[in-house]
Chain A
Amino acid sequence: MNAPAKPREKTRFDTIGKPRRRVDGRAKAIGQTRFADDLVLPRMLHAKLLRSPHPHAIVESIDVSRAQAQRGVHLVLTGAEFPVPYGIMPVSQDEHPLARERVRYVGDPVAAVIAVDEQMATEALQLIDVKYRKLPTVASPEEGLAKPEPRIHDYGERGNIHRNQSYEFGDVEEALARSDHVFEDLFFYEGNTHLPMEQQASLASVEGDGKLLLQSSTQNPHYLHRQLARVLQVPAAHVRVIATPNGGGFGGKCDPGNHEFVVAKAALMLGRPVKICLTREEVFYQHRGRHPVLMKVRTGVSNDGRLTAMHLQTLLDGGAYGSHGPASTFYTGVLTPVTYELPRFKFEACRVFTNKPACGPKRGHGTPQPRFGQEVQLDKIAERLKLDPAEMRLRMVTQPDSLTASWLHVGSTGLAECIRKVVEMSGWKERRGKLGAGRGLGLACSTYMCGAGVSIYWNKMPHSAVQILLDRSGQVTVYCGATEIGQGSDDVLAGLVAESLGIDPGWVRCVTGDTGITPIDLGSYSSRVTIMMGNAALQAAGRLRDTLAAAAAEALDTLPDRVIFSQDRVFAAQDAGKTMSFIEAIALAEAKFGTLAAVGSYAPPKPPGRYKGAGVGPSPAYSFSACVVETEVDEHTGWVTVPKIWIAHDIGRALNPVLARGQVIGGVYMGLGEALMEEQAFRRLPPKLSSALVHRNPSMLDYKSLTSLDMPEVEVALIEYPDPNCPYGAKEVGQGPLLPVMPALANAIHDAVGVRIDEIPITPDKVLRALEKKEKGEAPRVGPESFPSVPYPAPTFVLPPWEGGDGNELKGQEGRKAA
């Protein structure tokens, strides 16, 4: 196809920005959507996993003979069938679908039964005899640092330290020494889990051509595809992964899961479809959720409330496996400098293995924890310097098109506008301090990436690709590997293509998340889909539009660049009377150029930082949010109520405002749940009597998250400063709006009753304890009391852009002296 002169860009939109019912809304509302567990195939068998009852043990032997002999049992699998390890990150290939010689947490899968139905499979699990030799356990990162032996893994930095790193951008100690004030605070953020409504389910089968098909509730069909091929040792081209619509993901379905390999292997061995659906308890074991993080934040501030430098230290409880841990470790610091001007920054992070389910990415991946610390500390700074917390923040927001000390490029930013908006909506200036006893307002801000600048495995290829096929009926079929996890990616895809071609989204059919049919998309994580898939879609649609314009221009007696696509029609720009339908334009173009299809793809721009590790943090764009939380605190009991939340989110452009608001409110919901109650907590029994180390509350009754009755009213403002790197300017909204909620709540509680809870979740007992301390004249604070000595390595030293750096590391002491 030739590419003639570009048709005109529209000045007003038909679809974008208009509230619409999402394209998959009908099917979801009436129960027609087929989630993985809804799928049924003829001759389908069912799998169940036997999981370790021990937190840490050597598997000495497994005898499956009794289970194997049981009526209805077709296959029993153990680790012997799975010699090849896996892991989502190339540097952490430390899991096996079924444990080979060691189990590392209660719930670690050791064997699987495939039987005629789930009942028989469940019963046969009891007949598998496993001999374990128990090992000492590690329950916390502090303990892991103190006890290098026995090692949970035989790789990692040393002992039970999985990752350990240090970066310094400019001489931080020197800047702190020069500062008018230095604030030092400790914070703790408890781990929590994603709690998607849909439990993970997978159905594996062998297709007619002998190739493996896995239909699974996964957020990342592409990475799963790669891992399946490796672990099962079959050519990748013989494996097809279909990501079924996910009933919520939030990061919990990013890692390949043990169950996915097990059913795939079983289907290949048996030649029959094999399905599994995890129980809710098993979802808590699959986990990969928020890391518990202990933080130490030292921040230098000038008298007028500007930041001079920050030294951030984090200690992550990684759980039993690597998972996304290497990335999570970075994310407990790398986005910290994006919100406010920070001349120098030092960031040290350490992730320790423990005998608990592996932590990984959850909405906001690694960043809610340090954001909580930073934003609460800013509130303390404002209090001490007697500054209005909103004003203080407004004065130091990062500027558009600027670099951070760590060489991240901040493009568009609407943070200042977000702050102004929530200040206005909440009546901050008039109401704060005047709400009466026990009531308060708190404010906090945040930022998030619009897609990671670098893929999980190193390569130079596109991150997302879209193929569009035009049919002479007018049907537009859009193919993309992107995965609908409830966030609305299909709707974004249909909306963007429809807008670009000037048609109603109803003409568009999305075929997504199928590695056998669709071009690549890396997956639904890091808030990358709208931007990356969207840019790819606009490129593909633009190419088709050019072709259609070339054909239509002749008939309309105009030039291709004067052809306008709108309202399912094609017009000549200067004369609206000259027009034809979209279908007529297709017919002309198809007659002229042959079958109409186009592809588009997208790779993010190269980041400016050049030091090793500079790949984590860069993004084509950053979203920003500001939030005000109102609280009522009962001074007798510490009971906290949240009557209202205001939030402004800089989304660049809201493609479908209904969807965007839904994401914002959903983020606030999840953030408030984390702030008030969610805890992936563990129990160790008295060591003299037992070696047990178990999840406290692996059920939806006992793991507390907000019910609709606990959810306050949320007032949302979408701030729209279109970002040039993003499709029609649209930035992310899936993760960012969660981030400011937790610190805003902590700050509101302080405003209400004058106590600081430097720890998430903020439960009423902690508030009451702090109130009692206040009563007694002690420091009115509850939070961590100490930070262990962590053997962080010598930092990678990089000069900030304004100190003459070039984005490279300055090696050794000399570099530092040169600075």
Chain B
Amino acid sequence: MMRMPWFGWQSPATIAEAAKILAGEGPQAMLIAGGTDLVPNMKRRHQTPATLVSLRRVAELRKIANGAGLTLGAGLTLTEIVDSAAVREKYRGFWQAAAQVASPHLRNMGTLGGNLCLDTRCTYYNQSLEWRKAIDYCLKKDGETCWVATASKRCVAVSSTDSAPALISLGAKVKLVSAQGEREVAVADLYKNDGIDYLVRKPEEILTEVVLPDAQGWRSTYWKLRRRGSFDFPVLGVAAAVKLAADGTVEQARLALGAVASRPFLVDKGGEFLKGRKLTDEAIAEAGAIVASRAKPMDNTDLDLYWRKDVVGSFVGHALREIRGDDMRAMRMRIARQAL
């Protein structure tokens, strides 16, 4: 089998202890939660941290707290998120996103925090060291050229987290804690459009919790495009959260895209366009076109890149129709291959 590089192991019991270890070890230490992203990456020598700081024993990270909104510990597994009735009922889009991450086995191990901090992906990068040697590496790791856009000075690896676009559309925030203190950052501001330096999180910061605002009056949904019904990362994620007036007029709307850039992002223009309108077929089509124009898929993930761009509008349409109240179960079954 593929072998791990050597590493040291720390297993703190509290956030404070973990923060202290990170502060002491500096950037050569990395946090590990479920390890479903980091372990394969280490096998491929993407990251070779001298020390792994495991979050498994940190009980504080596994809390679920109900308040006006909902606070979720970053150490909850995705299975725990999916099993949470509060998430399922109030934050449907996020629930649908979490339920479609990877496969059941990976959701049993993978955590919410790990999902938000997931490394960006690229078919030139997510390969073994030997394979990457055969292309003389690339900009993101050990090399000079970006093989996806050879003229580019920037790595365009893809943000592939499912939960982030859903959380962005829901207006969620995260708490980042370090030995120096803590801060709150909107999920929408957590990411940078850079395949290498993709998080605003500093290496010594721990993402401890996700804070969801009150969802009263909001409807949300998440439509994921991937080749198969399980296992695959998204090649497009459309998250929508809409607050409708009693007569069906849009009071507020947030549309977010995942997997079409190095970060998940809010398409403000899409939301603004819908505000004050009803979700008619025409409005939905127009919103779809606006959102689609912002998608910039690259040839570094699964499926034909032009096609991926072509279908963004359709997926926005599925999302908005579901929010309008259309029966989308058959379409969902065809795309997700499961009821959601």
Interface residues of A (CB under 8 A from B): 51, 53-55, 106, 118-119, 122-123, 277, 279, 281, 632, 634, 636-639, 641, 677, 685-686, 689-690, 692, 694-699, 701-702, 704, 706-710, 763-765, 768
Instruction: Decide yes or no whether B249 CB sits under 8 A from chain A.
Output: no
Task: Provide 17 A-B residue pairs closer than 8 Å at the C-beta atoms, listed in order of the A residue.
Answer: A51-B130, A281-B131, A634-B314, A636-B311, A639-B335, A686-B150, A690-B136, A690-B147, A692-B134, A694-B134, A694-B135, A695-B131, A704-B232, A707-B230, A709-B228, A765-B307, A768-B307
B314 touching A707, Cβ below 8 Å? no
Instruction: Please tell me which stretch of B50-58, B77-85, B298-306 contacts chain A, meaning at least 4 of its Cβ atoms lie within 8 angstroms of it.
Output: B298-306
A685 to B123, CA, bound (A): 13
Instruction: Decide yes or no whether B128 CB sits under 8 A from chain A.
Output: yes
Kindly provide the distance from the CB of B36 to the nearest chain A CB, expressed in whole angstroms: 12
Instruction: Decide yes or no whether B153 CB sits under 8 A from chain A.
Output: no
> In the complex, what residues of A have CB within 8 A of residue B7's CB?
none
A637 touching B311, Cβ below 8 Å? yes
Shortest beta-carbon contacts, A-B, top 9 = A709-B229, A765-B307, A765-B304, A53-B134, A709-B337, A707-B230, A692-B135, A641-B334, A637-B311
Instruction: Decide yes or no whether B63 CB sits under 8 A from chain A.
Output: no
Kindly provide the distance from the CB of A66 to the nearest chain B CB, expressed in whole angstroms: 17
A709 to B306, CA, bound (A): 26
> In the complex, what residues of A have CB within 8 A of residue B103's CB?
707
A685 to B148, CA, bound (A): 10
Kindly provide the distance from the CB of A105 to the nearest chain B CB, expressed in whole angstroms: 10
Q: A696-B123, A701-B232, A768-B311 are in contact. List 19 more A-B contacts (CB 8 A).
A: A53-B130, A53-B134, A106-B131, A123-B3, A277-B1, A281-B2, A281-B128, A634-B314, A639-B335, A686-B147, A689-B145, A690-B145, A694-B134, A702-B302, A706-B228, A707-B103, A709-B228, A764-B307, A768-B310
> In the complex, what residues of B have CB within 8 A of residue A708's CB?
230
Instruction: Decide yes or no whether B9 CB sits under 8 A from chain A.
Output: no
Looking at chain B's contact residues, is the secondary structure mostly helix, strand, loop, or mixed? loop
B230 touching A639, Cβ below 8 Å? no
Kindly provide the distance from the CB of B88 to the nearest chain A CB, expressed in whole angstroms: 20
Kindly provide the distance from the CB of B204 to the nearest chain A CB, expressed in whole angstroms: 31
B123 touching A697, Cβ below 8 Å? yes
Count B interface residues, CB 8 Å.
36
Of B134, B231, B334, B337, chain A has the most CB atoms within 10 Å of the CB of B134
B334 touching A122, Cβ below 8 Å? no
Kindly provide the distance from the CB of A762 to the nearest chain B CB, expressed in whole angstroms: 13
Kindly provide the distance from the CB of A356 to the nearest chain B CB, expressed in whole angstroms: 12
Instruction: Decide yes or no whether B252 CB sits under 8 A from chain A.
Output: no
A119 to B233, CA, bound (A): 30
A698 touching B227, Cβ below 8 Å? no
A815 to B306, CA, bound (A): 55
A763 touching B304, Cβ below 8 Å? yes
Kindly provide the distance from the CB of A9 to the nearest chain B CB, expressed in whole angstroms: 50
Kindly provide the distance from the CB of A636 to the nearest chain B CB, expressed in whole angstroms: 5
> In the complex, what residues of B have CB within 8 A of residue A123's CB?
3
B2 touching A637, Cβ below 8 Å? no
A281 to B134, CA, bound (A): 13
CB-CB contacts below 8 Å: B113-156 with A = 123, 126-128, 130-131, 133-136, 145, 147, 150
Interface string of B238-273 (1 = CB under 8 A from A): 000000000000000000000000000000000000
A685 touching B231, Cβ below 8 Å? no
> In the complex, what residues of A have CB within 8 A of residue B227's CB?
677, 704
A264 to B304, CA, bound (A): 44
> In the complex, what residues of A have CB within 8 A of residue B3's CB?
118-119, 122-123
Kindly provide the distance from the CB of A230 to the nearest chain B CB, expressed in whole angstroms: 30
Known: A277-B1, A637-B311, A709-B338. A702 touches B134 (CB 8 A): no
A637 touching B314, Cβ below 8 Å? yes
A689 touching B150, Cβ below 8 Å? yes
Residue of B nearest to A118 (CB): B3
Known: A686-B150, A694-B135, A763-B304. A701 touches B130 (CB 8 A): no
> In the complex, what residues of B have CB within 8 A of residue A707's CB?
103, 228-231
B306 touching A765, Cβ below 8 Å? yes
Known: A51-B130, A697-B123, A702-B126. A710 touches B228 (CB 8 A): yes
> In the complex, what residues of A have CB within 8 A of residue B233's CB?
701
A689 to B124, CA, bound (A): 15
Query: Which listed residue (A279, A639, A701) contacts B334, Cβ 8 A?
Result: A639
B134 touching A54, Cβ below 8 Å? yes
A710 touching B304, Cβ below 8 Å? no
A699 to B126, CA, bound (A): 10
Residue of B nearest to A688 (CB): B150
Residue of A nearest to B230 (CB): A707
Residue of A nearest to B131 (CB): A694
CB-CB contacts below 8 Å: B312-340 with A = 314, 334-335, 337-338
Kindly provide the distance from the CB of B130 to the nearest chain A CB, expressed in whole angstroms: 6
A698 touching B231, Cβ below 8 Å? no
A736 to B231, CA, bound (A): 29
> In the complex, what residues of A have CB within 8 A of residue B307's CB?
638, 764-765, 768
> In the complex, what residues of B have CB within 8 A of residue A698's CB?
127, 131
A386 to B177, CA, bound (A): 72
Residue of B nearest to A772 (CB): B310
